[in-house]
Structures are given as C-alpha cells and as structure tokens.
Amino acid sequence: MKILISQLPQSPWWQNGVPLYDDNPAMRLGAMPDQSILEKERLNLISILNDLNIEIIKLPFPSIYNADPIKHDFVYIRDPFITNQKGKAVILRMKEPNRRGESTMAGQLLEKMGMEITRIPDKPGLYAEGGEFYFCAKENILFSGQCRNSVTGMEAVAEALNITKLVIIQSHSYHLDTYFTPVLNQEGHVCALILCMDIISVKSARDLNEFANKKDIPIINIPLEDAIGTAVNPGSFAANALPLPGVLIGPSHFSDRSIDDRLADMGVQRIVTPTTQFELSGGSIHCITNEI
C-alpha cells in the first residue's frame, strides 16, 4: 500500500482566517493555522507512516492555489478522489462548489503519476466527497456517509470501484470520518466499528448492528466529544482515523482509554499523533491521507 499526502502551500494556509461552511460546525471561523506547527504535525505523521514501512507519495501542491486569497482545502487530499488501491482513481464531484476545482486538479496530478482515471458523472444532484467513504480493500467493502454524498453519487463510486458490499450510514454530521472509523486486523479484515451512535439515524444503527452481528465483530460506541462535537464545543476528532492492517492512527485518544486495550486484544496498535492546526478547518488524519 502507498499513502498519498499533499505538500503544504507556499503561502500560509487560510492566512486570512478559516471560513465556515454551513454543514461543517467543526470549522473555526476566522482562525489562522500556525504554518510552522502545521508542518511539524504533517512531518510527524509522515515519520510514523515511514516507521510502519508505508511508502509515502508527496503530491505537489498546485501552484495556482498559492495565489491569495486561498479558497480551498487541497491539503485534505482525501476528499477529491478515492482509489481501488490498485492503480485506479475515481475522481469525485464535491457537494461544496468552492472545492470542485480540487477534484479537477487532483485528477490531472494523478494522471501525470500514471494512474488510471475514472470520473463520476458531472450532473446536478450527484455528488460525493472522499471524507464520506472508508474503503476496506481486502473485503471490498465500502462504507459511505449520506450527508455530503448523494445516493446517486455513492452508487456511482460503488459501481466505479466494483464494490461487493456498500454500507450506507445516514447522518446530518458532515463527513463520515468525523464520527466513524472501521478497524482492520493484521490481515486487513474489518474487526470492529468505532462510531458515535448518537449521530446516525435509527435505520443506520439497525443496519450497522446487523452488519456487525453477521461478521461477529463489536461496535464500539463513542460520545460526541470523540467525534465532530458541536459548534460551541468542538470534538477531539479521535474518530477521524486512518485504519491500516493491524494499526489505527488518530489525532487524539478516545475519552474511554480502555478502547485502546480492546484494540490491543484484537492485535491492533493504536497510534496517536496530533493534528491541531488541520482541525481548525474541520479535518484530521483521515482527511490528509489517501491510500493509492
């Protein structure tokens, strides 16, 4: 497996203050990320992945986005595309119009890297963003949120990836990765689900319980403060994690520290590395990485 991480912009990211999108309460309106801390947090994550013998691909930051004012979140390289982890990238159509150019740009850069490119249809009402997906390649399972994904969008992605099992999770909480993560055992199979049950619909809770029962795996329920939180009380982003075989990398500890012990009993190593400056614009570990 290879992990792609974007370079940072030459000019400070959100140097005039973070904006606020209507459906993302985690964004800190007017906050200005500290570029030196941002770089340090990014390098710490890269160092951890290197120690795990994961190959890191550093995507060049588009020079066009170094212009002022910056109106993008290209550092969240998760959102513009999703791959089958075998050389094929599906370029997504984001719900947020200000970010659609990022998908176009990412597609061009990935094409230059030699990846096979597929684009979902550019149709009104059809949209999908990478933060709404967790693709578990070993079992060909795609978990999809339904806030910034439309049904047609997630179905287009599932078709492009030739998915065996699509698990839809309904909520009104921005991206799936702000309140949910699967956990992978050392063989790459889903061995647990971590999520904030308070955020999802009754139907999704029922569907996830059925899924977990069939696989004989636990659902680990976490409180809102371990997820996206609220506009008044932002969460810790602990749920915004990168699941790798036998490893779960997140930005902070779960409030229930016994979860780490439960993961260890499953043979899963829990690694915590802060992303305080990335979180000012509503994203964390899962957002700034992408498997290719």
Write the pLDDT tens digit of every residue in 185-232: 999 999 999 999 999 999 999 999 999 999 999 999 999 999 988 777
> What pLDDT does 26 receive?
77
> What pLDDT does 225 receive?
95
Match 């059925």 to its residue by tokens.
Answer: 210
Tell me the three state secondary structure of residue 248. strand
> Residue 71 belongs to what domain range?
2-291
Residue 120 sits in a domain whose CATH number is 3.75.10.10
Number of domains in the chain: 1
> What pLDDT does 45 receive?
98
Q: How confident is the model at residue 266 (pLDDT cuts 50, 70, 90)?
A: very high
Residues contacting residue 40 through CB under 8 Å, at least 6 positions apart: none
Asked if the model's pLDDT at residue 24 lies above 80, the reply is no
What's the mean pLDDT when you consider all of the chain? 94
Task: Average the pLDDT over 252-272 and give the result.
Answer: 98
Distance CA 47, CA 64 (A): 28
Distance CA 47, CA 61 (A): 20
Write the pLDDT tens digit of every residue in 120-148: 999 999 999 999 999 999 999 999 999 99
Asked if the model's pLDDT at residue 96 lies above 90, the reply is no
Please name which of 126, 77, 84 lies closest in space to residue 105, comparing C-alpha atoms.
77
Distance CA 148, CA 160 (A): 18
pTM, two decimals, is 0.95
Residue predicted with more confidence, 172 or 146: 146
> What pLDDT does 23 receive?
65
Q: For residue 276, what are its two tokens?
A: 């305080």
Write the pLDDT tens digit of every residue in 48-68: 999 999 999 999 988 888 775
Residue 14, Ramachandran bin (φ over 0: left; ψ between -120 and 50: alpha; else beta): left
Q: For residue 63, what are its two tokens?
A: 């020079």
H helices present in 92-215, as ranges: 100-112, 151-161, 202-215
Write down the number of H helices and E strands in the chain. Answer: 5, 15
> What pLDDT does 69 receive?
58
